[in-house]
Every structure is written in structure tokens, then in C-alpha cells.
Structure 1
Amino acid sequence: MGDNIWVTNINDDMNRFDKQAEAQVWKNLSIYKVPQYMKTGDPHGAAYKPQIVSIGPYHFGEEHLKPMEEHKRRALLHLLKETEKTVSDFLNSLRDILLELKNSYEQLDSNWTDDKFLQLMVLDGCFVIEILRKNFSNYDLSDPIFSEQRQPTTIEYIKRDMLLMENQLPLLVLEKFVAIIAKATVGVQSDINSDIKSLMLKFYFPADETMTYTGEGKHMLDVVRKSMVQSPTVNIVTQEFIGTSQFGYCLMNICPVVYKSKKIANSSYHGTNSKKTISNNRSAMVLSQAGINFERESTYNLKDITFKNVSGSLHLPTITIEHNSESMFLNFIAFEQLHLEKSRFISSYFIFMYGLITSANDVGLLRDKEIIKSSISCDDTIRDIITRLAKGLSFGKDDNLCEIQQELNDYYMG
């Protein structure tokens, strides 16, 4: 009897099975739940969980996030008042792409009916836009969230939460809403434009008005991630370290709290593809003693790593490592590992750095060269952060950093 039911269910599934429709679902998927195996050393996954605001369906309704729901609703009301649009205008702008939006989410609970889902997209989307655009004139000076005198600590928590893998909205939602707002405010003094990516980068990189990203993106996490490895637009040597360099500012001002995990011993990141793993990595100190010079690259771009064999010099960009940046990088890495994308440049960067850093002495050398900057005084702590970020990772199929690592070993072997 049990077998007959199972066979019947399989036959029903086969009658409904559509290979092309299935392929489209995988193509749209871009917002994932972080699996347990990625939370090594942090079984509760605190680095991936919002602390003050839920964005999207995954953490909606969690008790500690409910106080922010009132502020989301206020943001929507202010935006409707300013644009003289109705909430139906925002809802209707998404109806034609509803299935695409829902398919962006992995494991979306069946409780999210079409109407309930659209309402959430409007509420959260308008909140995100109001946070990004900093339209202070629409709010009272005493407003704790949206005024110019808003609580800085609260905003830093919001910044952190908006860069979590499980706390994203499809970029298409925000693009639709920005278009509505821009059209409604033509001829009116407004700080919004038709490019949501520009608003995101101004929010996370406020010190550099030239910061741009013109490529594609799935959501805010993806846009900020890609902006860190695009073609350089600024030379960090000419800027102050904290608060002015694009990359430095981002790391110092995002993610004020991150989980505390136990010290993790150095472990292999080697994958199963032997062509893409190097078993005899040389640390920074060992390479330095062999005559390799470490030079600071003039950009903030994490892809700007080169080895010049003739001079024996390894050029690396400056990176700022802080306790509060670990959550951000873990979420970048989670997206790269879960999303079927060829380029995993943040992951590759930390694999490469893990190969260079096996002790506090290696960190000290890279500090002296200003390749690593940090307010953390303990070099062992920085080494542990790098270890946690690289744990379990392996180089991608076409990763040039793996080739550079091999060149360093060949140079060492002479």
C-alpha cells in the first residue's frame, strides 16, 4: 500500500515536471539560507543573523527584530507622502515580476502567499531606500532612525544587517521603487536618482563620491562585494587610513558586532582538485627570508595581486582587518560559495592570505609593509580571523591567485 502511494506521487510529479521551468528557478535563485556546515565554530550562526532589522522573509517576525517594524511602516508613509503615490502603485510595479522575485529566495515558506510577499517587498524595499538616501528633510530632527541626528549606533547595526546573506531583497525590487520615486520627484529637490547601486555605494563608502559600480548585481550584498574588486578609481596612498579610504571606511564602519568563536587551529583549505591546491605553501616570513619583497599595491582592489618574478616582488593591496568586519566577509564568502558564479574573488583572496599567514610573525611583516592595517594589537588575533575566513575554502577553477601561489613556490625552490 505504501509503495503504491509513493509510485502514484512520483507519477504525478513526472506529469508536472518541466525541465525548462526548473532551469529558470535555478537561474533566478540568489538569496540563500546559510547551511549549517558553513557555521563551523559558530553553531548558532550569529554572524549570519540580523541583530536589529529583518529584510526579506527569512527572519521576518523574529521577536528581537519586531521593534523596527514600526519604523519600516513610518518610512513607507513618509515616502508615499513625498511622492504623492499610493501603496498600490508600488505593489502593482512588482506584480508582473512576482514569480521571479519569489524564485530569488531559497526554501521560501509556503505561508508566503503572493499578497503577503508583495506587501513585505514594499514595506522592506521602501525602508531600505529611505535608509540609503538619507532624505533628512522629510523627518523631524529628533527622529531616531531617519534624521540627520539619528542614533549612530543604531545605523551601524542596520548597515551590518543589510549586508547579511539571509537579509537581502532582489535588486529588481529596489530598482522598480527608485524609478517610481525619481519620476514622482522630477523638478523637485531630491537626492534620489535612477541608479540604486549609486545609493548603496554612497551609503557604504560615503568618503568617496567617485565610487561607482556599473555592472550587474543580484542584491545589495552582491553589489557591495563586487565594488571591492572592480577597476580602481582611487589611490589609497593619498588618503587617510580610517574614514576616508573607500575600503578602510567600509571595514571600520560596518558590522559593529560579530560572534565570538573559539580559536580555530590552522586547518587545510585544500579542495579535491589537486591542480588547484598547493600543499607546500610558504609563509610570508619564509618567502621574505628567501628574498621575496612584499610591496603594497596602490589600490584598494582585492584583485590587484601580482608577483614579478624578475624582481622577486609580491604586490598586495592594503586591507583593514577588524573584529567588526568578520561578519561582512563571512557573508560575502557564503554568497560566493552558494551562488553558481564563476568569480569567487573574496574567497580566493582569503585562501591566498591564509597561505601567507601561519604565525603572528607573518602578520607583523605584513603590518610593517602596510599591507595589513588594524586597530587590533594582537597579531595572533588577526591570524585567527584570517584562518576562520579561509576555513574550508578552495581555489576556483580559473583562479589566477592559485597560479601566483605556485609561482611563489617555484621562486622559493629556485
Structure 2
Amino acid sequence: MAEAEENQMLLPIYCRSTDHKDQLPIMDNAVVVEVKDNLKKLLMKSVAVEKLGSSGKTIKPSIYKIPNFIKDVHKEAYMPHMVSFGPYHHGEKNLAPMEQEKLKVFRHLVDVKGVDYESIVSDVSNILEDLYGAYDDLDEDWWKDNAGSAKFMKMMIIDGCFMLVFLSNDEGCRSLITLKSDIKRDILLLENQLPFQLLKLLYEILPIRKDQNTTLTSLISNLLFVEKDELAIVEKKHILHMYRASLLYPPTLNYPIRDEIKENNKDDEFGLKCQIIPQATLLREVGIRFQKSKNKSLENVSFEKGVLTLPSLIVDDNTKTNLLNVMAFEKLHDEVGSQVTSFVVLMHNLIRIDKDVQLLSNGNINIIANAFMNDRDAVNLFSALGKGVYMETNNLTKIYISVNQYCDKSWNKWCADLKQSYFQNPWSILSLFHAGVFGFAILIVQAVYQIVDFHTKK
């Protein structure tokens, strides 16, 4: 028994070397071979992915599988409820009914519209490498063999055709008219994007509703309820990318870089001053006024002479999902900035209680267009949007610093303390008035006594 236990507890054999202080175990050749094979497989997989792309060029992904550290905070906001587009959610059971609708639309295109699906397959195969390269962290089953590639291409064609028929309001999708808002929601999810290159190719082939003024961009602008000029960005990756462009249209000013800001603000509180700003009602108490900007770009924020200018924003049931997916895209795709995220963080700072919403949504300011039934829902929205989001120096850093410096001025702080202490309710104002009158009366009595005392001694 003891001999058996001794055989199970094999100790590594160590070698001593005069050149090395550490003692290293002598590794079995089989272990070395296995490690080499594993590394080789990883390298081959990496090379296979890097080779994807036309003209021998590597394509940088623009459609991402959202990592759990982002998704777990608001999981439902990133998940399709009605329909899947692309590989990430393909085949999920709750989305199965819409797969049948996709096939109906494709049959309509072939049987009624006379689409030559063989030519579509041929044209899509020419950009297949580009389509693969658009997706990050694509499961191996989609590309490891011919069967996987065939499945991927079939999915791209059917999903792309369905989306274009839906966007064009073609009769092939008339039965889905009542689901339009639900499908639109799913079209704007980051994990549900289709490469714009695919949509452009299919749009030129399919005999869907077109006239002289209709373009693919105009169809997408109708979906997003924006002007097509707002989607005119240099390189369109997908519809969510275009939606982000509409939020930042028209382009605004360039902002100072981090080193420039730090040079002018060397105090120890630099970190807090450039990341945290008081809520709207507290800013009003120190004399800061709010004003709606002249255009709706989320970059159009300024602070000058005690006036904080902000763009207008409609908040409704879709705002949370849309903005969270744009923010995820900004975080994962380093070719775009973080302007939308930094605006959301700013609003998260400004809106903490119901009165903040009331202030920013009243008729004179009208910065927040609140489509919810009550102000509490809007507060909860901005609280959720800012949860788990950390911003370092960004395009609004200069605004944060300027506002905080304004708040730190002694006169403004004194006014804020006075308002906080005495002007919160009518009884406080009345007590302050009585105290003032009583104090003034005492001064008069003291003056009279001094005069009488002076004449008596005289």
C-alpha cells in the first residue's frame, strides 16, 4: 500500500546549473512536443484570420461580439428580441419564427420578382473574404471548411435581402408592418450588424422599390428618422456606425488634448475636476444657466460666461438600447472616438434627481424631450447609462474644468450656500426676513440708547 502511494507521488527531477540560480524541472519530451503543437495550431488559426480580406490586405473588424464585462451590466440591451442578422445570434430558439419570415421574403424575391439567386451567390462570393474580416471573434464553424463557408454565405444573402426589403417597405414585408419598431431596435444592435459592403452590393442587384432620388443611404435615413446628409461619413461600416454619425452631425470643434489641459491645471484635484460635475439643480444654485444649442450634435457642448449650452435629446424606450450599443462600438472599435460616451457620462452627472429632469425639460430650456410618463424614468435611464462607465480625458474635459472652476469661486459658493440654507421653502425665507427685521430693530435701539446716554452724561 505504501509502495503504491509512493509511486503516485512522483517528484520532478531538478538539474543544477552554474549559469542559473533557479532550479528547473527536466521536462518530458512529450510535453515539449504537445506545447509546440498547441502553439502551432494557435498560430495557424491566427494566420487564417489575418489572411481574410481582398487584395491580400488584412481587414480590421467593425462588428464585435460584446465581451461579458460590458454585456453583463445591461445584458438585455445587447440581445435581439425579434430577429437576428449575421452570425452571432443565428439559430437562437427565440428568434426562430423570423427565420421563416426571412425565407418567405427570399422566395418572394425569386418567385415573384424574378431574382437570379445564382448570380447573387457568384457576386457575394467575390467579397466573401471581406465579409469574414468584418466580424471579430467569429466561431470556427463558420469558416473552417467548405460546409461552414457555404452556411455563412447563405446566411449573409438571406439576412441581407430581408433587411433591404424591410428598409424599402417592399410588399414582400407588408405582413411585418406591426413589428417595424421591434425590428428597427434589433437592426441597431452592435452584435446584429451586417457589413455595409454586403448591403450595397445586394441593393444594386435586387429589384426592390427604387426611384431617381432613392439610394441605400436614403433608405437607412428613413429608418433612423434623420436627413441623409447626416449619414455622410467617409467610410460606412454598418448601420449602427451610420446612426452614430447622425448623433454627431454636424461635426463641431476640435478639443484640447490631455497634456494641454494638464499644463493649465496642475493642481492635485485635476483628476476629479475633469471627470465629475455637479448635478443640474446644484449648478443653477451657483448661478449657472442652461441653454439649448443651435444644432443637435452631441458634441455641441459649451460653457461661457456662466451659461452651459447642451444639445437637445429625446429620451424614450429605445434610448437606452441605442446609446449603449453605440457606446460599446466606441469602446471596441478604436478607429472612432468616444464622443457619444463622453456626452452620456456628462448627462449622467447632470441628472441625478427628478428636479434635474424638470429643470432641463421645462419649456424655456427644452434640452431633454422626455417621452416617458414621469421624470423618475428619465433619471433611471441616465443612471443606467452611466453605470460601469469610466471616462478619462475626453472631448468634454475642458467643459468639466471650466464649470468646476466657476463653482469654486467664493461669491458663487456663498450664493449657493445662502440658497441652500434659506431659500429652499417659504418658511425659511420668512424666518430669514424676520431675523433681518429683528436685527435691524436691535441696531436702531442700540443707536437710540447711545444717543440718550450721550445727552444724559452731557
TM-score, scaled relative to structure 2: 0.70
Counterpart in the other structure of 2:69:
37
> Which residue in 2 is equivalent to 1:395?
391
What residue number does 2:141 align with? 111
Whether the 8 Å CA contact 2:78–2:191 is kept in 1: the answer is yes
1:62 to partner: Cα distance: 1.2
Q: Confirm or deny: 8 A CA contact 2:230 2:245 kept in the other structure.
A: no
Determine the C-alpha separation between the residues in 2 that align with 1:61 and 1:72: 13
User: 1:193 & 1:177 partners in 2: Cα distance?
Assistant: 18
Choose the corresponding residue for 1:282, options 278, 295, 315: 278
Structure 2 residue aligned with 1:160, among 185, 189, 203?
185
Task: Work out whether residues 344 and 396 of structure 1, in 8 Å CA contact, stay in contact via their aligned partners in 2.
Answer: no
**Change beyond 3 A, Cα 1:339–1:404:** same
Distance 1:197 1:64, change over 3 A: same
Per the alignment, in what secondary structure is the counterpart of residue 134 of structure 2? coil
Quote the residue 2:170 is aligned against.
Answer: 135
Of 320, 339, 344, the residue aligned with 2:338 is 344
Matched, 1:404 2:429: no
Q: Give the distance between the partners of 2:117 and 2:205, measured in 1 at CA.
A: 11
- Call closer, same or farther: CA 1:60–1:40 in 2, change over 3 Å: closer
- Any unmatched runs of 5+ in structure 2? 1-29, 143-147, 252-269, 410-458
Residue of structure 2 in register with 1:200 after alignment:
220
SS of 1:307's equivalent? strand
Q: Deviation per CA, 1:222-249: give whole Å up to 9, x if none.
A: 11121121118xxxxxxxxxxxxxxxxx
Helix, strand or coil at the partner of 1:320:
strand
Please list the CA deviations of residues 355-413 of structure 1 after superposition, one character each: whole Å capped at 9, or x if unmatched: 2123222222111221112132433332221121122223365x321211111111222
Q: Hey, what does 1:374 align to over in structure 2? A: 370
- Out of 78, 81, 100, the position equivalent to 1:48 is 78
2:98 paired with 1:68: yes
SS in structure 2 opposite 1:300? coil
Alpha carbon RMSD of aligned pairs, Å? 3.0
Q: CA deviation at 1:41?
A: 4.3
Cα offset for 1:210?
5.8
Q: Distance in 2 between matches of 1:62 and 1:333?
A: 25
Residues 134 and 370 of structure 1: CA distance in aligned 2, closer, same or farther (over 3 Å): same
Q: Partners in 1 of 2:386 and 2:153 — Cα distance?
A: 37
Cα deviation per residue 1:257-282 (whole Å; 9 max; x = unaligned)?
xxxxxxxxxxxxxxxxx759635522
Match of 2:347 in 1: 353
Given the superposition, is the C-alpha separation of residues 209 and 382 from structure 1 closer, same or farther in structure 2, using an over 3 Å criterion?
A: closer
**Larger relative contact order, structure 1 or 2 (CA cutoff 8 Å, min sep 6):** 1
Amino acid at match of 2:330: E
Q: CA deviation at 1:73?
A: 1.5
1:61 aligns to what SS in structure 2?
coil
1:120 maps onto 2:166 in alignment: no
The letter for the 1-side match of 2:358 is G
Match for residue 2 of structure 1 among 14, 23, 31: 31
> Cα gap change, 1:20/1:163 in structure 2, threshold over 3 Å: closer, same or farther?
closer
- C-alpha separation in 1, matches of 2:128 and 2:135: 12
Q: Distance in 2 between matches of 1:135 and 1:228?
A: 28
Cα distance in 2 between the residues matched to 1:58 and 1:376: 32
- The one-letter amino acid paired with 2:342 is S
How much identity, in percent, do the aligned residues show? 30
Q: Which amino acid in the other structure matches residue 56 of structure 1?
A: G
Q: Distance in 2 between matches of 1:119 and 1:279?
A: 47
CA spacing shift, 1:11–1:52, aligned 2, 3 Å: closer
* Alpha-carbon separation, structure 2, partners of 1:209 and 1:339: 25
The TM-score normalised by the length of structure 1 is 0.77
Distance 2:42 2:341 in 1: 38
Could you tell me how far 1:63 is from its partner in structure 2?
1.3
Q: Partners of 1:276 and 1:31 in 2: how far apart? A: 34
Q: Which shows bigger deviation, 122-131 or 286-295?
A: 286-295
